[in-house]
Structure formats: C-alpha cells, structure tokens
Structure 1
C-alpha cells in the first residue's frame, strides 16, 4: 500500500511565493522532478486538501480559485505538454514547459493591452494556439486552436503570445456583430497596436473578409488607418523640425494630365511623400500567404516613375514605418530635402488641393 506524503513535507519542498505564478501552478511532470509521485500529488488534491487539479495534468498548489495569471499559466502548461512519445526530459519551469503553445484570442489581446476586451482575470476562455499535428482536446476553460503555420510569438512578461494581427483574427472569427468587429479593428489601429494592411492580410489568410460583419468594418478600418497615418506624418514633420510642406495635394503638368495625389509636397525642393495605405480586399488572390495587390502596386510604381522622370523625388512611407521608426523616416525625408540642391531642377508642375 502506497504511503501518502504528509502535507507539511510536500509544502516544504515547493516554493510558493505568492507572486510567483510558475510555482503556484505546476504540471505533473514538474511535480515529478520535485520528487512527488502521482499518488502523492493525488493525495494533496482530495476533497478538503491543499491543492486542486485545474486541468488534466495541471495542478494549482492552493485551494482557492485560480487567478487570471494562474489560469493562463495552466492553459499553457496543458497545451504545451509534449506527446508521451516525446517525454524524454523532465519539463522545466515556465517557458520551457510551454513547448510551441502560445496564447491567442481575447486573452492575448488583454496581454497586448487592448481596452475593448476584459481584463485577464475576467477572461472566461483562454484560446491557445498549437501545431496542427497535436492531438489535444479543448477542456474546461482552455480552447485549443490548431494551425498549420504557427506565428512567431511575442513575449509579454515572459508569456508567449500570438502577434496582435493573429490574435485579432482569432477573436473576429467568433464575432457576429459588425459593431464589435469595427470597435476591435479601430482600437488596433488607433492605439498603435497594428496597421490596416497587416490586419487585413491576416483576416484574408483566415478567410474572414467575406463575412458580413467584417466587410463594413474593413472599410471603416482603412479610413481610420489613413487618418491615423496622416496624423503621424503631421507629427513627424513638426516634431523633427522639417519645413512645412503642402499637405494633401494633386500634382499636374501644366495643361496636361494629372500626376496623382501626394500626401506632402515641398515645391521648392521637388520632394513628395506618399503614404502607402494599400490593403488587400475581399476576393484578392493569396500568394505565399500574402494577398496579391499587383494592380495597386503597379499603379503606384507607374506614378512614382513618372514623377521621378520629371525630377520629383518621391519618398515612400508606410503606416508601420511611421508607427515604429518615425525618427528614421524623418531622417530619410530630411536627406531628400538636403539633396535637392545637388539635383537638376525639376520640371514645372501645377499643385492643386486634393
């Protein structure tokens, strides 16, 4: 007959610092590495005992309800445990025990700091991404999502979290109301979490662009994205002391055809800034995981080539560059303005408000 280890003996072996979630939630493999057998672990989880099993093979080392971080850690331990055939080395603490699993969905957006989702402690279901080959069932508060191509996770306080775009797509997949989709996409862009092109690419890859709740939200997203990018462009010019350009103008040859819209133009330097806010739309062909927008790119390239033949320097900026590296983009624009004195004079063009 197996003799159960007394509670005091078990507790003395296990560090239970109140702030250390990785020591309050442990997998069966981690408990074994600490010298506890399956029978000893089970004995601590009997009714009225000091521990509890919150998921298959995952234990909470106190009797109270799990906190949001404890549920999160438990979900990753459950989803990250390797198959039996691969369990050669003992599972280590924290990230080493998560395997390839990562948090996505609402819990991921809470970790990314979204205000339109509940705090982590109020998230009832934790979505976890795992490779498609994993044979793992959703259970209790864990929803297992399989994917053929795992994204590269972002580390948030040491927790592997799906990138914003993937987490947003996984949440949108479960939304039926256009207003909810619009609110989520708007926050992603307005608060600087992502840009429209990256979001639409992910929604397209998930085959969500054709949903009624998504179509109108994407239109609003693109409009919001352009407004946010223009605001960042204004801020970049002013905060970095660049000369004030003409904003949102149309260039034309005198008496000739239009040359296209320009977001910022310095006529004395013949330097133009064009924001690339292109994004694939529903029905766009996907190649290599990215929707094809060759027609839009060809039109942009033709406009740029025409302007440069006329002596106008075109600086191409994307919303992502403005969001993540505004200092570098200001340097690019400043360099183009300074180089104007060394170039041949540009052809005369007419500048009209757009």
Structure 2
C-alpha cells in the first residue's frame, strides 16, 4: 500500500453513506503520519462507530455521529479533525473485520466510547448491552475501563456497578440452566454457611449438603483492590475445604462457553463424596 498516495475526493453528486464515512476516516489515518513497522495495525474504527458495527442497539449509526473515532498506534503523527477523532494506543489490539473494515474489539471500543460520552444513562445502556448481548464478560469490560483510567468518574463507577449486577444475574441463570439441562441433583440455592455457635463461613451460590459440595461463581471484576478480594476468596475456599467441603469455582465465561464441561466437574465432585471423609457439620442459612 502506498501510504503517501492522495485521498481521492468524493464527487459532490454522490450521497455519503455510513460505510463511506468510516472508510474516509480510516483513509485519513492510513495516509497521514508516515509508515509503520510491518505487522503493526495501522488504524481501526473504535468508539461508538465500532459499537454500531458490532450491532449495538444503543449506539447511533455512523452517519449520526459528529466524529468517527479511529484508533491508531501511539507513534502515529496525526491530529484530530472536525470529522475524525484520533485515539492513540500504546499497544493496539488485534482488530476484527466487519463489513470489510478493521474494527476494535468490543471492550476496547466500549472504553473509547465511554471516554467521550458524558450522559450517564447512555454509558449505562452501553455497558449493560455489552454483557446482556453476550459481546464480552464484565471482567473484560472493567479491565479496559481501568486501563483507560475511567473508573475515577462517578457516573462510570455507577454504570460498572449495574454492569456487575447484570453479569452476576446472567451467570446465576446459566448456573440454574446447567443444573436443569444436565439433570444434576437440586442444590440449596444462595445460602450462607456457619459453624454451630461459631463464625460465618461465607456465602455460596449452590450447596449440596448430603455430598458437602459447593459451587461459587467468580464474578469479580479487576479493580485496584482485586488482589485483596482474591485473597478473601482463597481464604474462604481453604477454610471450607479444611472442613471437608468441596468447593467448585465457576466463572461466567466457562458457564457460557463450556457448560457441559462445568456440569461434568460438578457431577464428578458429587459422585466422589462417598470416597471422602464426612465433612464437619455446618449450619445452612438462606442468604
């Protein structure tokens, strides 16, 4: 490709389409600012325009946008224009191809969109649709928002809280579906465990008291206190296992992508109960 070739102007008689706007924005980024090393992504559509290409209902069509966001490597010598907003990345993600155009992955496009959207309701709709529509996991979204240093904005934090609640709700629905679809014994749902007259042991998403098998959904999102939260998860799991309770740790992604494998793991834990020493007696309470 000749990066110094001129951009051919569009005849005034031809109407501009959404794809034309996107291609012209990419053309600006590709033909300005010099060449890049081989294998380096040159430019890709990001932000709201990318979300529209990913078929987000809450993202406006490209023709309705004042500017098209284009993601480029940090070293590109480019300036934003009236119709193109240049977004720089230290390490650009691998683009996906949609309608013949290089497009940023959903999580990155979402972070770039949230960076310029001031309306809290719009931000919340975008984040919720990302999870509800199955585009990506909440943890992936939050990781990108954290990388972009957007979690200091109150309206983004509020939207993330709603996102995590949405993600947990979907994960719980998949867990119910797994038990039904693979004919697992019915557990006690959403319970707290305590030692008789002793301390609280922690909450569980599902518990089979006869087999002393527990399932815990890992719906954590990466934040600054992630290490401390993971340590808390680990301490709880180790304490329960010392009492003879087998804890099966499931993630929303595993439930979505490999539910049959997760059902096999739980079934194996239930079948192995007879080979283990009896667990300590615990009090089971509704959560």
- Give TM-score, length-normalised by structure 2: 0.88
Distance, in Å, in 2 between the alignment partners of 1:124 and 1:83 is 23
Alignment match, 2:243: 310
Which deviates more from structure 2 when the two are superposed, residues 303-312 or residues 315-324?
315-324
Q: 1:167 to 1:84 in 2, by over 3 A?
A: closer
Alignment match, 1:353: 286
Distance, in Å, in 2 between the alignment partners of 1:121 and 1:150 is 25
Whether the aligned pair in 1 keeps the contact of 2:32 and 2:77 (CA below 8 Å) is no
Between Structure 1 and Structure 2, whose CA radius of gyration is higher?
1
Does structure 1 residue 319 correspond to structure 2 residue 252? Answer: yes
Relative CO higher for 1 or 2, CA cutoff 8 Å, sep ≥ 6? 2
**What is the CA distance between 1:85 and its match in structure 2?**
5.9
**What is the CA distance between 1:150 and its match in structure 2?**
1.2
Does structure 1 residue 73 correspond to structure 2 residue 15? Answer: no
Distance, in Å, in 2 between the alignment partners of 1:337 and 1:226 is 24
1:78-131 C-alpha deviation (Å, 9 max, x unpaired): 3234755669x9xxxxxx9x9431111001111212111123454443211101
Does structure 1 residue 152 correspond to structure 2 residue 86? Answer: no
Alignment match, 1:7: none
Distance, in Å, in 1 between the alignment partners of 2:103 and 2:183 is 38
1:261-311 C-alpha deviation (Å, 9 max, x unpaired): 000111222211111122245xx2xxxxxxx51111111001101111122
1:202-230 C-alpha deviation (Å, 9 max, x unpaired): 11211111113223222222222222221
Q: CA RMSD in A?
A: 2.8
Which of 119, 138, 148 pairs up with 2:80?
138
SS at 1:171 equivalent: helix
Distance, in Å, in 1 between the alignment partners of 2:109 and 2:254 is 21
- Give TM-score, length-normalised by structure 1: 0.73
Which of 251, 255, 263 pairs up with 2:193?
251
Alignment match, 2:184: 242
Provide structure 2 residue ranges, at least 5 long, that are not aligned to the other structure: none
Whether the aligned pair in 2 keeps the contact of 1:58 and 1:78 (CA below 8 Å) is no
Moved >6 Å (runs of 4+): none
Which of 40, 44, 60 pairs up with 1:102?
44
Which deviates more from structure 2 when the two are superposed, residues 177-186 or residues 321-330?
321-330
SS at 1:307 equivalent: helix
Tell me the matched-pair count: 287
Alignment match, 2:232: 299
